[in-house]
Amino acid sequence: MNLLCLPPALLAFIAALPLAHAQYPPPASYQNILTSPVNPNVSVAYKQPTNGTCTTAFTTQKQYTGYISIPPYTLAPIQQNYSINTFFWFIEARQTPETAPLTIWLNGGPGSSSMFGLFNEVGPCEVVQMADGRYGTQMRTFGWDRASNILFIDQPNQVGFSYDSTTNASLDLFTNEIFEPPTPPDSQLPSFMYLNGTFGTASENDSRTYATTANTTQIAARATWHFLQTWLSTFSQYNPSTRPNVTTTSSSEPAGINLFTESYGGKYGPVFATYFEDQNTAIANGQLPSNSTLPIRLQSLGIMNGLVDDLIQDYYFPYYAYNNTYGIEIISQTDQLNALNLFSNQCQPAIQSCRMANQDLFGDNEQANQLCEAAQWTCNNLTSIATAHGYFPYDIRQKSPSPDPSAAYQEYLNQEDVLSAIGARVNYTESSPYVQQDFISTGDSIRGGLIEDIADLLKLGVRVALIYGDADFLVNWYGGQAIAYAVANSLPNYPFPTSVAASGAGIPPSYASGFANAGFAEIVVNDSYVGGAVKQYGNLSFSRVYDAGHFIPYYQPETAFQIFARVIMGTDLSTAADVDLSSFASNGTANATYTASAPPAPSPTCWVRNWNGSCSTSDTEAMQNGEGLIKYGMYVQNSDSITLPSTSVNAGIPGSPMSTTSSGSREAKASETTTTPLTGVYTATGTPTSSGGAAPTAVPGLDGRVGMILSGALLGAAVMI
């Protein structure tokens, strides 16, 4: 919103706030503003970002950013009395985008932006600091655009760049709270901790701060389905259903979309996928008009360190706290036994009470909401164990606060030239406490049924990949493995045997027996190391990624990419070999037993946009005393602590792209002595002798500093992103 368009009274009020820093986005402009091809009430506005905004491997790769605007009451019978303006960022695949698969990426939260995934995990570019302190972007070698077209969506409403109505307000960086209209800074905070900008309407000044967004995953699924109806019809050239399937080895299999999610995406993924498939059925049987509704068929569902079912996974919080990959005893064995007793006697019954209540899909039953929210708070004593003992819940190899991953991208996305380049109408915030509050108010995370949803997806032929980093406490790999077994065990009679072996066992085996008998095979990432272990039967797989925290692609980018590519291609996740998934089972050990030691702690960095996640108690005390300064989005207690890259860093910025490849060379310089191809998927022909992935690379230009995770807390522990 343009500041000059504000009412005079409000302008005068803002003028009286000289201590608050202003950072309003410039008026947004687009190359295309259209009516949805499938719904005349829905509009889409988009543009191609200015060259240099997000550096890709090849200059020929097209990008589109913009909004799809859904008017009130579109989601009826849901009480949606607010507008939904959903931001997206799309990037073409590096090769043959006209035939490449389409992958949708969703971060979790609830309330976390998928821009985090774009810039810190799987997108084509990453933010680096240049010699003059400014931020720009470089190409990410193992971005997932290497194998797929990829669409990042900020959802639900009020997340990231998405909003209901633009509103000028103040953001308190210390508490992550928004105040509307703009207000003077808290007297206990220096002015640099307050920013005036443009946001959605959710703020501390509302009687119900979260009234204009989804309050359950079921509502979010419906909003995203409506979004995709317009996106897939507007960008029909990228809709896999409109062209032959060239991704998988089975040429008879219809082309589909790949949905990959993370963290709270353990809820989003199964619910969204199930709703999409239900809508496909409604189209097929005539309940929805086929001439104005598009089927959204999923080919694969990937869940990375996902919270799928608390009734199963919460047990493994105390289990992992004492028995983990790295020999780190967060709690004593006595404390572990006490916590397991708490799970059995308090947490588990609370979850069951929630699930026995008369639940509705949209959070309208207040009694059920109260029971489910109460269960969240009861079980929080388990989920917050790591935080309570000073460990970083996203990576137990570190103590809190942690600088990983970097928050530099948040500074970059709030630069005026970047906001203008992508057509952003609001300032960027990584995580919305108001969306989180809304989901908490209905106890959304406690509600069940997702094991059954995943099992039904397997019956429909959807490939389901459960992928977990083994250094994560927040959604640890033991719990993820238990989810995989629960899904398999829910299918004791599927697939139906078509013949009988000499032993009397059915062929093919059911998921219950086939998955149980499959072994853990090594995930061969390249010629030099093994990045994890995978248990795979049919379309169901569970991967444990070595030396990776909650954000697997950040910690182990090459391993994460190879697993992703093999999932969407329908191959053996161990080697990328072509296999017949209708009968394939991995071969290996009965258990994944890899162990490792914790690496040295990274150098601290206090990111002002992630104060509570990256800044120390000493930083907070100094800041509240009015000491220190902000430079390049980082807080330092004295100017001598500021360091800039010692050598020139080549990076793209809006309007000034860095030199990349347009044709010919397909390699990028990875070090002084090695080169890494920019395209292709590794297929193993043998097994390296070494195990474990390489350590994550520090953000270029930050001299080893890597920082930030999140602001806020999930039920007093940590927000899931």
Least confident span in 138-152, 207-221, 434-448, 634-648: 634-648
> What is residue 499's predicted lDDT score, i.e. its pLDDT?
86
Asked about 472 being catalytic, the answer comes back as yes
Q: Which of 504, 521, 490 lies closest to 592 in space, CA to CA?
A: 521
d(CA 648, CA 651): 9
**Tokens matching residue 448:** 């069940």
pLDDT band for position 334 (cuts 50, 70, 90): very high
DSSP string, 667-704: EEE-SSS-EEESS-----SS--S-BSPPPPPPPTTSTT
Residue percentage of the chain with pLDDT more than 90: 78
Distances (CA, A) of 536 to 262, 361, 518, 540, 587: 20, 32, 6, 6, 9
Higher pLDDT, 717 or 461: 461
Q: What is the pLDDT of residues 371-389, one digit of tens each?
A: 999 999 999 999 999 999 9
Q: Which of 455, 457, 458, 450 lies closest to 581 in space, CA to CA?
A: 458
pLDDT band for position 245 (cuts 50, 70, 90): low
Q: Report all structural domains of the chain as residue ranges with CATH numbers, in order of start.
A: 32-260+437-441 (3.40.50)
pLDDT band for position 346 (cuts 50, 70, 90): very high
- What value does the mean pLDDT of the chain take? 89
pLDDT band for position 548 (cuts 50, 70, 90): very high
Q: What is the pLDDT of residues 639-674, one digit of tens each?
A: 777 777 766 788 999 999 987 554 333 343 333 334
Select which of 263, 420, 431, 441 is catalytic: 263
> What is residue 701's predicted lDDT score, i.e. its pLDDT?
43
Distances (CA, A) of 258 to 197, 240, 572: 35, 10, 17
pLDDT band for position 281 (cuts 50, 70, 90): very high
Select which of 472, 547, 572, 619 is catalytic: 472
Q: Does residue 125 register a pLDDT over 50?
A: yes
Q: What is the pLDDT of residues 611-648, one digit of tens each?
A: 999 999 999 999 999 999 999 999 999 877 777 776 67
Give one word for 219, left, alpha or beta, with left for phi > 0 and alpha for psi -120 to 50.
Answer: alpha
Q: Which of 131, 145, 139, 143 lies closest to 660 in space, CA to CA?
A: 139
pLDDT band for position 253 (cuts 50, 70, 90): low
Residue 534 contacts by C-beta under 8 Å, 6 or more apart in sequence?
Answer: 520, 521, 523, 541, 542, 543, 544, 563, 573, 574, 586
What does pTM read for this prediction? 0.92
Residue 538 contacts by C-beta under 8 Å, 6 or more apart in sequence?
Answer: 458, 495, 508, 511, 514, 515, 581, 582, 583, 584, 585
Asked about 550 being catalytic, the answer comes back as yes
Buried b / exposed e over 416-446, threshold 16 CB at 10 Å, is ebbbbbbbbbbbbbbbbbbbbbbbbbbbbbb
Residue 238 contacts by C-beta under 8 Å, 6 or more apart in sequence?
Answer: 90, 92, 97, 102, 149, 232
Mean pLDDT of the 40-66 span: 97
Q: How far is CA 268 from the centre of its chain?
A: 10
> What is residue 244's predicted lDDT score, i.e. its pLDDT?
66
d(CA 173, CA 169): 13
Cis peptide before 508 (omega within 30 of 0): yes
**Tokens matching residue 335:** 């404390």
Q: What is the pLDDT of residues 483-538, one digit of tens each?
A: 999 999 999 999 988 888 877 777 899 999 999 999 999 999 999 999 999 999 99
Select which of 550, 574, 586, 619 is catalytic: 550
Q: What is the pLDDT of residues 169-214, one digit of tens each?
A: 999 999 999 999 998 878 888 988 999 999 999 999 887 766 799 9
